[in-house]
Amino acid sequence: MRLHHILFLFLLVLPAWSYAYELVSLQGISNSKKSFITRKGKRQGIFPGMTATFMANDVSLLARAVSVSGNFAQWQVINEDAIVPWEKGTLVTWYSPEEYLWTLQPEKERQKYIKSQSMLPRKSFVFKGALSRGINESVSGVEAQETRRGGFMGEVYFEKFLTHSLSFDAGVRLEREIVNYTGVSFSTTRSLLIGDLLYYFNAFDVLEEGRFYIGAGFGYGLSRTTSSGLAQTGPVGLLPGVKLGINLPLSTDWDFLFDTAFESLQTKEEQDDGRNQTTTQTNLKAGFGLRRYY
């Protein structure tokens, strides 16, 4: 009787074990690359709502069965930001247990999944505010003297990821800066068009999916400096500025950003007497903002 029970349990476990790790062929992929069809259906133990992991070419994907017939099943990608990275006819390894990817694969494979699926190239708008502090400056026609510069700014960018790690952005900046000399103060406003090229490092476990990034940017716009009885305007250029920051996901659609930057600005403003005054300065900037994906 005991042997009979053992054989009965073995027959129950055998089917699930036998297809726990199998190769299946992708029979079709939707135009949106959000779903695909496999030649495996109810007769092989697939049922609607079942989840499974598919792996090929060092990339893993988690999907749910949404429509099942006798020998075929349609699978929907669970991660709304992911797409099917394979072509029709690809042979993929199919895992039937409902487990997390990192329990089925070594750490190296889990990182490949994160890199390939959780951060597909996306578009976003970035809204930032920042404070700046002048580090050094030189002004044509004026002897060097002690000065203090500080300001605040608002920025709006459109950013597009070209790859998992590389992106570019373009946007506008509105800035107001107060310049204090001994016995006199000036107010400078600037409006600039800005562009940056950014590189994002892989996620750090300690920060969950937060990523550090570095970037270099340029800008061009208009500057206006005013004081009592004085007003001068002219073009301003942002020479290569270097930034270092961190991007922290808040949800699937929102990220929090914080960065610091060193920026060099060159302003050529025309004075009331027709002469041009050139100001070259280096600022330290620190700011934070929000990113909205769409």
Give the mean model confidence (pLDDT) for residues 237-265.
91
Asked if 275 and 281 touch (Cβ cutoff 8 Å), the reply is no
Residue 21, pLDDT score? 57
User: pLDDT tens, 112-149?
Assistant: 544 554 445 678 999 999 999 999 888 887 776 778 89
Residue 202, pLDDT score? 74
Residue 126's DSSP bridge partners are: 157, 291
Residue 115, pLDDT score? 52
Express the helix, strand and coil content of the chain in percent, nearest 5 each. Answer: 15, 60, 25
User: pLDDT tens, 153-184?
Assistant: 999 999 998 887 899 999 999 999 998 887 78
Determine phi and psi for 40, rounding to 5 degrees: -165, 120
Residue 108, pLDDT score? 53
Asked if 165 and 200 touch (Cβ cutoff 8 Å), the reply is yes
d(CA 93, CA 232): 69
Give the mean model confidence (pLDDT) for residues 96-106.
49
The pLDDT-based confidence of 239 (bands split at 50, 70, 90) is confident
Asked if 194 and 155 touch (Cβ cutoff 8 Å), the reply is yes
Residue 263, pLDDT score? 95
Rg (CA), the chain: 29
Find, among 171, 172, 146, 169, the residue nearest to 159 by Cα. 169
- Range 2-118: architecture per CATH: Beta Barrel (2.40)
Residue 13, pLDDT score? 39
Residue 5, pLDDT score? 46
Give the mean model confidence (pLDDT) for residues 275-282.
89
Residue for token pair 């026609």? 141
Average pLDDT taken over every residue of the chain: 81
d(CA 219, CA 261): 14
Residue 275, pLDDT score? 82
Domain locations in the chain as residue ranges? 2-118, 123-293
d(CA 278, CA 269): 7
Reported for 23-27, long-range contacts at CB under 8 A and 24+ positions apart, including other chains, are 23/91, 23/92, 23/93, 23/94, 24/54, 24/91, 24/92, 24/94, 25/89, 25/90, 25/91, 25/92, 26/84, 26/86, 26/87, 26/88, 26/89, 26/90, 26/92, 27/72, 27/88
Furthest CA-CA distance within the chain: 111
What does each C-alpha distance from 64 to 16, 54, 78, 281 come to in angstroms?
17, 11, 6, 57
pLDDT surpasses 60 at 98: no
pLDDT surpasses 60 at 253: yes
Find, among 233, 210, 211, the residue nearest to 222 by Cα. 233
The Cα angle at residue 195 between residues 193 and 200, in degrees rounded to 5:
150
CATH number for the 123-293 domain, one of 3.40.50.2300, 2.40.50.100, 2.40.160.20, 3.90.76.10?
Answer: 2.40.160.20
Q: Which of 7-21, 106-120, 128-142, 206-220 has the lowest mean pLDDT?
A: 7-21
The Cα angle at residue 263 between residues 173 and 221, in degrees rounded to 5:
40
The pLDDT-based confidence of 70 (bands split at 50, 70, 90) is confident
The pLDDT-based confidence of 220 (bands split at 50, 70, 90) is very high
Asked if 189 and 175 touch (Cβ cutoff 8 Å), the reply is yes
The pLDDT-based confidence of 103 (bands split at 50, 70, 90) is very low
Determine phi and psi for 89, rounding to 5 degrees: 95, -10
Residue 61, pLDDT score? 85
pLDDT surpasses 70 at 209: no
The pLDDT-based confidence of 97 (bands split at 50, 70, 90) is low
